[in-house]
Amino acid sequence: MAFVQFDKIGISGLAAAVPANRIDNSTYTEYFSSEEAAQIVEKTGIKFRRFAPEGICASDLCVAAAKTLLDNKKLDKSEVDALIFVSQTPDYRMPATSILLQHKLGFNKNTAAFDVSLGCSGFVYGLMIAYSLVNNGGFRKVLLLDGETRSRVYSPKDRKTAFLFGDGGVAALIERDQDCGTSFFSLGSDGSREDYIKMDAGGYRIPSSIETLKEKVVDEHGNIRSDEHGYMNGTDVFNFVLSEIPSNINGLLSYAGISAEAIDYFLFHQANDYMNSYLIKKMKLPVEKVPQSIRDFGNTSSVSIPLTIVSQLEKELQLPKTLLLSGFGVGMSWASAILPFRNCTIPPLVEL
Amino acid sequence: MVDKFLTQLTETIEITDRTLQLTDELRSLEEWDSLAQLSVIAMIDEEYGIVLDGKVFKSVNTVQELWDAVQSAKSS
C-alpha cells in the first residue's frame, strides 16, 4: 500500500456544478415498472439524479465550477502552473481534455496540463498528484478539475445500473497554506478485479464496431446493453469494498497516528446508501459524521466526494475541520486521505 | 449453530412464511435478487467476521453449500 504525506498544503477553494436537469428516479419508468423503480429507490437511497443535456460534457460542468471558483477567489490565473482533468468521460479520445480546458479557461501557455483516467477513486488520486506538484516547489497553484457524465456510460435498459448514475463537475484549487498541518494519503489498485466494473469495447483492445454497438440481452433477468455500455457486478463490488476499504482507512489512520474520533467528517464515495450505511455500521462511525449526497445526485463517480463536500459541508467548513476522504471503485482502484481544511472557500453549488 | 444461521439467513433474505432449510436452493428463490445477495454478504461479515470470496459466493447454490463455505472460510 502506498502511503504519502505533505506538510502545509491545502485546498484553498472548491466549487461544484451540476446540470439543472433533474431526474426523479421514482418516475424513471420508460423501461421498468413503477414498482421496480420504487424498490430500487428504497434500497439504493437514490431519489434524484442530474443528467447533462445533449451537447454538455463533463468538461463543461468543470468550466462552470472553475469560473465560479476563479471569480470567487479573484484569482490571478498566471499563478496557476498546472491544470489536471480527472475523468473517464472526456470530450475526445485525443487530445486530452485538460488542454482544451487551458484554452477555454484562459490560462496562459506556460500552464502544464494533463488528464488522469480514473473513476470513483479519481478525486483523491488527483489531490495526491496536485499536492505532489505543489510540494515539488515549482508549481505555485494547481487547479484540479474533475467531471463526469456517468449517466451516458450505462444502459438505461440494464436495471443493475440504470437508476444509479448522475453527472457533475468540480474545481479545486491546491496551494501552500501555512495554516494546514500534515495531509496523509493511502492509495491502492487491483487489476485482477478489472471486470467488476467495466466497459468491454470501444477502446483499442476491442475496437468499436457494428457488433459492439448491438444491444443484447445479457442475463436471465432480461437486462439489455451493448459491449460499449458499462456494466457492474454489484455483489463483487460490495465484497471488494467490505474486504479492502475499512482496512485501508484504518491503515491510513494508524500511519497518520490519528484516531477516528479526531476526524470531523468522513466522506465516502457515494455509490449507494446500502453500502455506505453498512460501512458506517462496520466501522462504528457516528452517522452524523458521514455526510451523504447520494439521495439528490446519485453516483457521480469521482465527483461524488467533492460534490458531497460542497453540497453538505459548505457552512461547516468555515471553521477548521479535519476530513477523511475515501474513494473506491472501477479498476479496482482506491484512495483515502486525511486532510486538514483551514481556509477553503466554497461557493454555493452552481446549476447549469 | 446451523439453526441460528438458518434463522439469520431467512430474515436477511426477507422470507416471512417459513424458515429456510439446508436443502433449499438459493437461486430458485424468488427473493434471491442482487440486493438480497448484498444483504447476505453483509450478514455473514457481521455475524461471522468473514467476507466470502466473490467466486465462492457465486458458486454456491444450496443453503448447505453456503453454510459449508462459511465454515471453511472460518477455519482457514
pLDDT (tens digit, 9 = 90+) per residue, A157-171? 999 999 999 999 999
CA pair distance A311, A268, nearest whole angstrom: 14
Name the 3-class secondary structure at A340. strand
Closest CB to A238: pick one of B41, B53, B58: B41
Contacts of A233 in chain B (CB under 8 A): 54
**A239·B46 Cβ contact <8 A:** no
Beta bridge partners of A345: A13
pLDDT (tens digit, 9 = 90+) per residue, A120-164? 999 999 999 999 999 998 999 999 999 999 999 999 999 999 999
Q: How far is A231 from chain B (nearest CA, A)?
A: 14
B42 close to A (CB below 8 A)? yes
Count of Cβ atoms closer than 10 Å to residue A7 Cβ: 12
B61 CA to centre of own chain: 9
pLDDT (tens digit, 9 = 90+) per residue, B16-31? 889 999 999 998 888 8
B14 close to A (CB below 8 A)? no
Model confidence at B33: pLDDT above 90: no
Q: Which residue of B has its CA nearest to A276?
A: B42
CA pair distance A279, B46, nearest whole angstrom: 11
Contacts within 8 Å (CB) and 24+ apart, A292-295: A292/A45, A294/A44, A294/A45, A294/A46, A294/A270, A295/A45, A295/A46, A295/A47, A295/A48
Spatial neighbors of A218 by CB under 8 A, at least 6 apart, are A158, A224, A225, A231
B2 close to A (CB below 8 A)? no
Contacts of B57 in chain A (CB under 8 A): 235, 239
CB pairs under 8 A between A and B: 36
Find out whether A150 and A166 touch, Cβ atoms under 8 Å. yes
pLDDT (tens digit, 9 = 90+) per residue, A57-92? 999 999 999 999 999 999 999 999 999 999 999 999
**B57·A238 Cβ contact <8 A:** no
Active site residue ranges of A: 120, 269, 299
Count of Cβ atoms closer than 10 Å to residue B59 Cβ: 10
Q: How far is A285 from chain B (nearest CA, A)?
A: 15
This complex has an ipTM of 0.76
Q: How far is A291 from chain B (nearest CA, A)?
A: 22
Q: Are strands A167-176 and A9-18 parallel, antiparallel or unpaired?
A: antiparallel
B28 close to A (CB below 8 A)? no
Residues of A with CB under 8 A from a CB of B: 43, 160, 233-236, 238-240, 242-243, 274-275, 278, 281-282
| Alpha-helical regions (H) of chain A | 34-44, 58-73, 97-104, 122-136, 210-213, 234-256, 273-282, 294-297, 304-312
Q: Which residue of B has its CA nearest to A275?
A: B38
**B41·A235 Cβ contact <8 A:** yes
Interior angle at CA A344, CA A289 and CA A97, nearest 5: 100
Average pLDDT, chain A: 96
Contacts of B70 in chain A (CB under 8 A): none
> What dihedral angle (degrees, nearest 10) is formed by the CA atoms of A151, A154, A156, A160?
-110
B49 close to A (CB below 8 A)? no
**Residue found under cell 466522506:** A267
Rg (CA), chain B: 11
Reported as half-sphere exposure (CB side, CA atoms, 13 A), residue A87 has a value of 32
User: Quick one: pLDDT band at residue B46, thresholds 50, 70, 90?
Assistant: confident
Q: Which residue of A has its CA nearest to B55?
A: A236
User: Quick one: pLDDT band at residue A1, thresholds 50, 70, 90?
Assistant: low
Q: What is the pLDDT of residue A132?
A: 98
CA pair distance A84, A143, nearest whole angstrom: 6
Q: Which residue of A has its CA nearest to B40?
A: A235
pLDDT (tens digit, 9 = 90+) per residue, A199-247? 999 999 999 999 999 999 998 889 999 999 999 998 899 999 998 999 9
User: Quick one: pLDDT band at residue A103, thresholds 50, 70, 90?
Assistant: very high
**B34·A234 Cβ contact <8 A:** yes
Spatial neighbors of A48 by CB under 8 A, at least 6 apart, are A22, A23, A24, A25, A295, A296, A297, A298
Q: Which three cell numbers stand for residue A1?
A: 500500500
Residue A207 Rama label (left phi>0; alpha psi -120 to 50; beta): beta
Q: What is the pLDDT of residue A309?
A: 98
Closest CB to A235: pick one of B38, B45, B46: B38
Q: How far is B14 from chain A (nearest CA, A)?
A: 13
CA pair distance B13, B15, nearest whole angstrom: 6
What 8-state DSSP symbol labels residue A335?
E
Average pLDDT estimate for A305-327: 97
- Taking alpha carbons only, the member of A144, A147, A146 closest to residue A173 is A144
- Taking alpha carbons only, the member of A200, A350, A177, A336 closest to residue A256 is A336
